[in-house]
C-alpha cells in the first residue's frame, strides 16, 4: 500500500535560451530520471520550454512555433508513462500571448493554466509580452481547456488534486493557490523564474513554507536556473517541496546541471488536517475536474521522506531550547492566572523525586516569580511509601531545600497498612489494590493539605500518562490544576534539562541526577540493593514509541498499519517490526480503555498541537471499541 503518500519532484533545468528543441530534450532526461525514482508529478520552471529571459524574442514566429512543437513532442513523450509533467511555455491566442503552465499526461496536454499576476516592477517587464485571462478557452490544437482556475486530479482514489500558479502569483496579497486549496487542491505547483539577490532566497523559502501552512497543502516549487540569460539578472534554480509549513526537500542552487528535488508527501495527513479545519470546503465540480488521467500510485517505500521519531521534540539544540522556553512560559503563565483568579495563598505540590513532579515544582516556582511572590508560598510534600528509594527521596528533599520552598515529609506507610486492613486486603499481595492504595492516599493528603493551607493543588501527570491511562483514577489522576497535562513524556525530560541549564550549580546538580533516574511510579518495594524495581517502560513499553504513536494517531488519525510503517522508518532499526507491532497494539488498547479517565481531568494549559483535554482538542466516547483499530 502507499498509505496516502505521493511522490513529487521539482526540477531546475540545464537549458538554452530560445532553443525549445534543446530544452525539450533536457526535460525528457529529467522525466526519465524522475520515472526511475517512481515520481508521479514532475514540475519544471516558468517558461521552461523557451527560457524565461527571451524578452522580445517572444514576439517572433520562429520561437512560438518551435515552442508549440516542443510542447507537443513532450506530451507525446509522456505516452505510456505513469507520470504527470508540468512545463512552462508561451501560448498565443487571438493576438495575445499568455505565460502558461502545460500539464502533460498519457500523450496529451491535459490542462493549460495561464499566469494570473504578471510581474511588472523593478527588474520585471512581463506586461510588455504577456496578457492575463480570466475566462475558460478551448484550444483545438491541444484539445483541452485553458483556465486560470482549473484543477487537475492526479489520483482519484486518494483524492490528490493539483492546483497551479506561476511565480508572481505566490508573491501577491491573495495568491491564486489560496482559492485553489479552498476548492480542493492539496498540491500546489509553482513554475517560477525568481531571480537572485542578497537575502531573497530565505524570503522565498519562507513564502513557500508559509503558503503551504496557510493552505494545509504541499507546495512544489521549481525555479529557473543559472542558464537563463544574465543580461541583467542571475537565476539560481531554486527547487523545494514544502508540506504544511515544513520544507521536506530542497535542491542545490546555482548548479550548472539539471537538478531534480524529490519528496514523498503525505496526502492523507493533509486531508485529515483539513477535515478538522472547517475553513476548507471542497467543491471540485466548479473547477471542471477530470479523472481520466489519474496516475497509478503504487506502494511507497518512503525513500524521499524523513519521518521524525520524536515529533514532540525538535532535534536542533537551539530550536529545542526555544521550544522549552516557550512551553515553560505557557505552563507558568497558566498557573499564575489560576492562582490569581481563585485568590490562592500559594500552591501544594507532591514531590517524588521523579521528572513529572520536578517539572511541576519548577513551573510553580516560575509562577511565583511572575506573581512577585516568594517561593515559600509553595508547599512541597514528599510522601515516602513502600517503593520509595533513597535516591528519589533525597533528591526530592534536596530540591525543595535548594529552591527555598516550604517542605514537609509525610510517610504514607502506616496509613496504607491501616487502610488495607480496613478493606481486608492482604498487604503481602502486591497487586493493583496495593499500588493504588498508595496513590490515593497521597492524593488525599495533598488535597487536604491544600484545603488546610488555602492553597491550590498542582497536578504532576503528563500527556503520555493520560494517553496510556498510567494514572490511578481519583489518585494522581486528580488535582486542582494540571500544569503538565499536555506535555509528553519525551519532552518533560528536556524541559527539566532546560531549567537545569539556567539554574544555580546546586539546583542544577540535583536536577541532572533526577534526569538520570529511571521512570517509575515507585509503588512496589525496591530490589535487594535498594534500587528502583518497578520501571514503567518495562511494563507499558518505550515512551518514545508511545509518544510517536500518540502524535500521529491523534493529530492525523492514521491506521495501525500506517503507524507501524512510519515507526519502522522513523526508528530505523532501533526496534524490530515485531516490537513495534507489539507496543503499538498495547498503545491502542490502553488509549481506548483509558478514555474514561481523560473525560474528567482537571483544567490544564495547552502547550502543543496535541492535547487530550475533553473540553477542547479530543472528544471521544469512553466506551468506543478498539477492534477496527488493531
With a cut of 90, say whether residue 224 has pLDDT above it. yes
With a cut of 80, say whether residue 288 has pLDDT above it. no
- Catalytic residue, candidates 14, 111, 115, 455: 115
Which stretches of 355-487 are DSSP H helices? 355-371, 390-403, 413-422, 432-453, 463-468
46 is catalytic: yes
C-alpha dihedral, 291 to 293 to 296 to 300, nearest 10°: -90
- Catalytic residue, candidates 14, 26, 46, 100: 46
* pLDDT value of residue 307: 97
pLDDT tier, 285 (very low <50, low <70, confident <90, very high otherwise): very low
**Could you give the percent of the chain with pLDDT greater than 70?**
96
* pLDDT value of residue 534: 65
pLDDT tier, 354 (very low <50, low <70, confident <90, very high otherwise): very high
Tell me which residue of 476, 400, 401 sits closest to 435, measured CA to CA.
476
With a cut of 90, say whether residue 114 has pLDDT above it. yes
Per-residue pLDDT reduced to its tens digit, 513-560:
999 988 776 667 777 777 766 677 888 999 999 999 999 999 999 999
Per-residue pLDDT reduced to its tens digit, 453-484:
999 999 999 999 999 999 999 999 999 999 99
Q: What is the mean pLDDT of the segment spanning 88-114?
A: 96
Between the CA of residue 373 and those of 334, 344, 364, 401, what are the distances in Å? 16, 12, 11, 17
Q: What is the mean pLDDT of the segment spanning 272-279?
A: 85
With a cut of 70, say whether residue 291 has pLDDT above it. no
369 is catalytic: no
Per-residue pLDDT reduced to its tens digit, 150-165:
899 998 888 899 999 9
Q: What is the mean pLDDT of the segment spanning 290-295?
A: 65
- Catalytic residue, candidates 54, 100, 153, 167: 167
* pLDDT value of residue 40: 97
With a cut of 50, say whether residue 436 has pLDDT above it. yes
> What average pLDDT is seen over the chain?
93
With a cut of 80, say whether residue 368 has pLDDT above it. yes
Cα distance between residue 566 and residue 548, in whole Å:
9
With a cut of 90, say whether residue 593 has pLDDT above it. yes
Cα distance between residue 378 and residue 361, in whole Å:
8
535 is catalytic: no
Across 6-10, 134-138, 291-295, the highest mean pLDDT is recorded for 6-10
Return the H-helix or E-strand segment holding 431: none
* pLDDT value of residue 1: 64
Between the CA of residue 366 and those of 305, 326, 363, 454, 483, what are the distances in Å? 40, 13, 5, 20, 12
Q: What is the mean pLDDT of the segment spanning 338-344?
A: 97
- The per-residue b/e assignment along 558-588, b for 16 or more CB within 10 angstroms, e otherwise, is bebebbbbbbbebbeeebeeeebbebbbbbb
With a cut of 80, say whether residue 361 has pLDDT above it. yes
- The per-residue b/e assignment along 143-154, b for 16 or more CB within 10 angstroms, e otherwise, is ebbbbbbbbbbb
Question: Are 259 and 226 a contacting pair, CB within 8 Å?
Answer: no
* pLDDT value of residue 292: 58
* pLDDT value of residue 364: 98
* pLDDT value of residue 122: 85
Q: What is the mean pLDDT of the segment spanning 377-383?
A: 98
* pLDDT value of residue 284: 46
Amino acid at each position: 500500500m502507499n498509505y496516502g503518500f505521493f511522490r513529487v519532484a521539482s526540477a531546475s533545468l540545464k537549458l538554452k535560451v530560445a532553443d525549445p528543441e534543446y530544452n525539450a530534450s533536457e526535460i525528457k532526461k529529467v522525466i526519465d530520471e524522475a520515472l526511475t525514482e517512481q515520481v508521479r508529478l514532475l514540475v519544471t520552471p516558468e517558461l521552461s520550454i523557451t527560457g524565461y529571459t527571451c524578452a522580445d524574442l517572444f514576439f517572433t514566429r520562429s520561437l512560438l512555433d518551435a515552442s508549440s512543437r516542443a510542447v507537443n513532442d513532450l506530451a507525446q513523450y509522456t505516452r505510456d508513462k505513469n507520470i504527470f509533467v508540468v512545463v512552462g511555455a508561451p501560448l498565443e491566442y487571438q493576438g495575445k500571448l499568455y505565460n502558461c503552465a502545460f500539464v502533460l499526461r498519457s500523450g496529451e496536454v491535459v490542462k493549460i493554466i495561464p499566469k494570473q499576476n504578471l510581474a511588472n516592477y523593478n527588474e520585471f517587464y512581463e506586461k510588455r509580452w504577456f496578457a492575463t485571462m480570466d475566462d475558460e478557452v478551448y484550444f483545438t490544437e491541444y484539445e483541452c481547456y485553458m483556465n486560470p482556475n482549473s484543477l487537475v486530479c492526479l489520483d482519484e482514489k486518494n483524492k490528490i488534486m493539483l492546483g497551479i500558479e506561476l511565480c508572481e502569483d505566490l508573491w501577491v496579497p491573495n495568491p491564486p493557490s489560496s482559492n485553489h486549496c479552498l476548492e480542493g487542491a492539496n498540491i500546489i505547483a509553482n513554475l517560477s523564474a525568481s531571480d537572485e539577490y542578497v537575502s531573497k532566497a530565505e524570503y522565498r523559502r519562507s513564502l513557500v513554507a508559509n503558503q503551504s501552512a496557510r493552505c494545509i497543502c504541499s507546495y512544489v516549487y521549481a525555479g529557473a536556473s543559472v542558464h537563463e540569460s544574465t543580461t541583467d539578472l542571475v537565476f539560481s534554480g531554486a527547487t523545494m517541496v514544502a508540506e504544511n509549513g515544513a520544507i521536506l526537500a530542497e535542491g542545490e542552487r546555482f548548479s550548472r546541471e539539471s537538478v531534480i528535488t524529490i519528496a514523498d508527501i503525505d496526502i492523507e495527513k493533509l486531508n485529515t488536517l483539513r477535515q478538522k479545519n472547517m475553513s476548507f470546503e471542497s467543491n471540485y465540480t466548479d473547477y471542471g475536474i477530470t479523472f481520466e488521467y489519474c496516475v497509478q500510485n503504487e506502494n511507497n517505500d518512503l525513500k524521499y521522506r524523513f519521518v521524525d521519531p520524536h515529533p514532540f521534540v525538535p532535534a536542533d539544540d537551539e530550536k529545542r531550547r526555544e521550544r522549552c522556553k516557550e512551553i515553560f512560559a505557557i505552563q507558568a503563565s497558566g498557573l499564575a492566572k489560576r492562582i490569581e483568579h481563585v485568590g490562592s495563598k500559594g500552591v501544594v505540590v507532591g514531590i517524588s523525586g521523579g521528572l513529572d513532579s520536578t517539572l511541576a515544582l519548577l513551573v510553580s516556582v516560575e509562577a511565583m516569580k511572575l506573581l512577585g511572590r516568594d517561593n515559600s508560598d509553595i508547599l512541597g510534600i514528599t510522601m515516602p511509601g513502600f517503593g520509595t528509594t533513597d535516591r528519589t527521596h533525597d533528591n526530592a528533599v534536596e530540591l525543595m531545600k535548594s529552591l527555598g520552598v516550604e517542605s514537609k515529609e509525610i510517610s504514607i506507610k502506616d496509613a496504607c497498612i491501616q487502610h488495607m486492613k480496613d478493606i481486608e486486603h492482604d498487604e503481602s499481595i502486591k497487586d493493583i489494590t496495593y499500588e493504588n492504595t498508595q496513590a490515593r492516599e497521597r492524593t488525599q493528603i495533598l488535597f487536604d493539605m491544600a484545603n488546610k493551607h488555602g492553597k491550590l493543588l498542582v497536578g504532576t501527570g503528563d500527556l503520555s500518562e493520560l494517553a496510556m491511562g498510567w494514572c490511578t483514577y481519583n489518585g494522581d489522576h486528580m488535582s486542582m490544576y494540571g500544569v503538565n497535562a499536555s506535555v509528553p513524556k519525551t519532552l518533560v525530560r528536556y524541559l527539566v534539562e532546560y531549567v537545569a541549564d539556567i539554574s544555580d550549580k546546586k539546583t542544577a546538580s540535583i536536577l541532572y541526577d533526577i534526569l538520570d533516574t529511571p521512570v517509575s511510579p515507585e509503588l512496589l518495594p525496591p530490589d535487594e540493593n535498594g534500587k528502583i524495581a518497578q520501571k514503567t517502560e518495562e511494563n507499558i513499553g518505550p515512551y518514545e514509541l508511545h509518544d510517536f504513536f500518540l502524535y500521529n494517531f491523534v493529530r492525523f488519525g492514521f491506521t495501525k498499519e500506517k503507524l507501524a510503517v512510519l515507526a519502522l522508518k522513523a526508528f530505523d532499526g532501533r526496534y524490530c517490526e515485531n516490537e513495534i507491532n507489539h507496543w503499538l497494539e498495547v498503545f491502542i488498547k490502553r488509549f481506548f480503555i483509558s478514555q474514561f479517565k481523560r473525560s474528567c481531568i482537571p483544567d490544564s494549559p495547552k502547550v502543543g498541537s496535541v492535547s487530550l483535554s475533553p473540553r477542547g482538542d479530543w472528544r471521544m466516547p469512553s466506551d468506543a471499541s478498539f477492534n477496527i483499530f488493531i
